[in-house]
Copies of this chain bind each other. A is one copy, B any other.
């Protein structure tokens, strides 16, 4: 329904705000965990939070009370949670693989808590499906450029192929785990 033109940072914030946090908390998560790819600079986060609040997806409340240095705690609204769920469960495209692998992994990481294990499994399946044509394209490119290109260019291509193969194995492994888990439930 909504046009949903939110950049990746916005969704990352929504995902983290399943646990209410201040802007500073969020910055710390970005800089201390494996989410360093998201900027975490104040000039990015605070404006992004303002936009999300203006869009009604989160709500900030100034924390009155004990410590009393002004800290604003943000929480997801119902609308924000709905938007987050839609984003997480989006089927994975080939484009997601080339330009936003980090984002895909974040969506998957959040999926179980936000939308449940069966949705996680669906994400994995669409991920695996998207990998196949990508792998084939790269393999064809390798065949084509094998003889002409310099060694380093060929090796770089091989690196891409190996990466996707590794992702493929991981996807199968993860799918197996989820299928077990859902069966046992």
Contacts and interface: CB of A to CB of B under 8 A. Distances in A.
- Copies of this chain per assembly: 2
A174 B162 CA distance: 12
Nearest to A95: B36
Q: Is chain A's interface secondary structure helix, strand, loop, or mixed overall?
A: helix
B170 A162 contact: yes
Contacts of A153: 109-110, 112-113
Given A36-B98, A98-B37, A178-B151, A106 B156 contact: yes
B111 A141 contact: no
A177 interface: yes
17 contacts: A33-B141, A34-B138, A34-B141, A36-B95, A37-B98, A37-B99, A105-B159, A105-B160, A109-B156, A110-B152, A110-B153, A112-B151, A112-B153, A155-B170, A155-B174, A163-B167, A165-B166
